[in-house]
Each structure stands twice: as structure tokens, then as C-alpha cells.
């Protein structure tokens, strides 16, 4: 039996991924590291083993890692945190977990990152070979994720690393689509946001964790149809901002990525190719 350790299991991505992982791998093979045991009650009810601790603490990481063969690092400090906390969780704790996982001999370490690690000005969709260069305007989250990737890669062949760079994640009650109006309301109506549904994130992480021979690879994860600012207002039932259609975006390719690699190498296809598909399926 392969033992999977998942960090960030009570976050927006983790709490939707872990039940699926429990179904695919068997609940008794799944272990989660969480700070708040009460928030993991629904996962424990599935038969998942809950380890209470903080990803930033060495002793807690060691307890969680003991006997694990596959690690899926979903933990992230994103909105509403200080820059210091973002770097502590997204970079420092992730790299230390990777170093300790390498020492423990794990077979696979899947690290969730973001498509925000790519910079502007490519004039095309970003591909995985493009050098991470996040724009300073995107803040500590993008910078800390880029630095985490670099730190994990410095471990070299000692760590069987696979990186999943996620687009803007939504669906299944996640408030991200509603929250997007805080900034999309200032966008031109035709500026595009790459997105991906939680169900498709889950299957991407699963394939990244179990597909043989993909150690060292990085994969962009996004659906087939980026949404415009106009779409975001329509989906949320919000009025369109006056005059938003009259301005050109600074970079029409900002955030856009190619998903050819994950399709070709992992056989991944989005179950929800667009937000509109997810809406019609009642999966928002």
C-alpha cells in the first residue's frame, strides 16, 4: 500500500482533493497534516489519518513524513496574510519539507505552484520551459512560489519532484469566482483570466503523483477557455462596470499558459473545459 501525505488538506484545494484521493487510493493510505483537527473532521470521517501539526515545524513535518512514499504539497498562504507568512509557508516550509522528504526516500514529491510565476511580455502562452519571473505587482504569493520551485529543484536527483502550476482555481462552492470581482472590476471587459476547476486540479495532482517516469517535470494546469472580466461579472450576476470595454489590456497574454505537456504526458483532459460548462453542470 502506497502512503500519501497531503499538506494543506483543509484549504480550498486540499479539502476538495483529499476526498477524491481517498476514493482513488483508499482512505487508509492517505495521511494529512493539519493545524486544526476540528477542520479536518470530515476527512477523518472518511478514514483518512489526521496528523495535527504545523508545516513550519520540523518535528511536525517529521511525524507526518514517517512512512510516507508520496507527498502532495498543497499548503499555501495566499490572501489575507503578511508577506513574511507567505514566504514562511510557501517557500521556506515547502523547501524544508522537500529536503526532509528526500532524506526519507519518498518516491514522488508533487508541489503545487501557480501560473503567476511566469512574467509578462512573452507575446504567447507561457510554456513550462519559460524561466519563472513573476511580476512584482503580483506580490509575495507569486514570488514565494517561484522561489519555492527554485529551492526544491536545487535538491536535484535526491528529490523526485513534479510541479503543478495551477491557474485560478474555482468551483464546488469555492468563493474565488465571487472574490475575483474585487480586482476584475477594474479590468477591461475583454481581459482574460485562466481558470481551472477543483475537479480538474484533483485529477491533475493524482496523475502527477502516480504516473511513472515523470520525475523532474513541470505541468501547467488550466482549462480550455480563459474567462474575461465580462464573463466574471455575468457568472456572478453583477452589473458590468461602466466604460470597462473601452480600454485595452496592457498584455493580452498575461497569465495565459499552454497545457500541451500535461495533456501529452499525463493524458489529462479537463472535465469542465470552461466555467460555462461547470455552471451548466451545477458545479460552481
Domains of the chain, CATH where assigned = 4-170+195-223+256-271 (3.40.50.720)
The backbone region for 255, taken as left when phi is positive above 0, alpha when psi lies in -120 to 50, beta otherwise, is left
Cell numbers for 199? 475537479
190 in Cβ contact with 249 (< 8 Å): yes
Q: Give residue 253's pLDDT.
A: 87
Q: How far apart are CA 276 and CA 284, in angstroms?
A: 9
pTM (2 decimals)? Answer: 0.96
74 in Cβ contact with 11 (< 8 Å): yes
Cell numbers for 118? 511566469
Q: Give residue 251's pLDDT.
A: 77
Q: How far apart are CA 50 and CA 35, in angstroms?
A: 10
Q: Give residue 79's pLDDT.
A: 80
Q: How far apart are CA 227 and CA 196, in angstroms?
A: 10
Q: Give residue 245's pLDDT.
A: 63
Q: Give residue 137's pLDDT.
A: 85
Cell numbers for 142? 507569486
pLDDT digits (tens, 9 = 90+) for 168-183: 999 999 999 999 999 8
Q: Which residues of the chain have pLDDT under 50?
A: none
Q: Distances from the Cα of 222 to the Cαs of 44, 65, 165, 209, 255, in angstroms?
A: 30, 30, 9, 18, 10
Would you mind telling me the total number of residues written for the chain in this entry? 284
Amino acid at each position: 500500500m502506497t502512503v500519501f501525505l497531503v499538506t494543506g488538506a483543509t484549504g480550498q484545494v486540499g479539502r476538495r482533493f483529499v476526498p477524491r484521493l481517498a476514493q482513488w487510493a483508499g482512505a487508509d493510505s492517505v495521511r494529512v497534516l493539519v493545524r486544526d483537527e476540528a477542520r479536518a473532521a470530515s476527512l477523518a470521517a472518511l478514514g483518512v489519518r489526521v496528523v495535527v501539526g504545523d508545516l513550519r515545524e520540523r518535528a511536525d513535518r517529521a511525524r507526518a513524513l514517517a512512512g510516507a512514499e508520496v507527498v502532495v504539497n498543497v499548503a499555501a498562504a495566499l490572501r489575507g496574510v503578511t508577506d513574511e507568512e507567505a514566504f514562511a509557508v510557501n517557500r521556506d516550509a515547502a523547501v524544508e519539507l522537500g529536503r526532509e522528504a528526500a532524506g526519507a526516500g519518498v518516491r514522488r514529491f508533487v508541489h503545487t505552484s501557480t501560473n503567476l510565476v511566469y512574467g509578462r511580455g512573452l507575446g504567447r502562452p507561457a510554456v513550462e520551459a519559460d524561466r519563472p519571473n513573476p511580476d512584482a505587482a503580483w506580490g509575495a504569493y507569486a514570488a514565494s512560489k517561484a522561489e519555492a520551485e527554485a529551492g526544491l529543484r536545487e535538491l536535484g536527483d535526491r528529490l523526485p519532484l513534479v510541479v503543478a502550476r495551477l491557474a485560478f482555481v474555482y468551483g464546488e462552492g469555492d468563493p474565488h469566482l465571487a472574490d475575483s470581482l474585487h480586482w476584475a472590476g477594474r479590468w477591461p471587459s475583454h481581459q482574460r483570466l485562466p481558470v481551472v476547476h477543483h475537479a480538474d486540479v484533483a485529477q491533475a495532482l493524482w496523475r502527477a503523483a502516480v504516473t511513472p517516469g515523470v520525475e523532474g517535470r513541470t505541468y501547467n494546469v488550466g482549462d480550455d477557455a480563459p474567462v474575461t472580466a465580462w464573463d466574471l461579472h455575468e457568472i456572478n450576476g453583477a452589473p458590468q462596470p461602466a466604460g470597462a470595454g473601452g480600454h485595452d489590456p496592457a498584455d493580452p497574454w498575461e497569465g495565459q499558459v499552454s497545457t500541451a505537456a500535461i495533456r501529452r504526458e499525463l493524458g489529462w483532459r479537463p472535465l469542465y473545459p470552461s466555467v460555462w460548462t461547470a455552471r451548466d453542470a451545477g458545479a460552481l
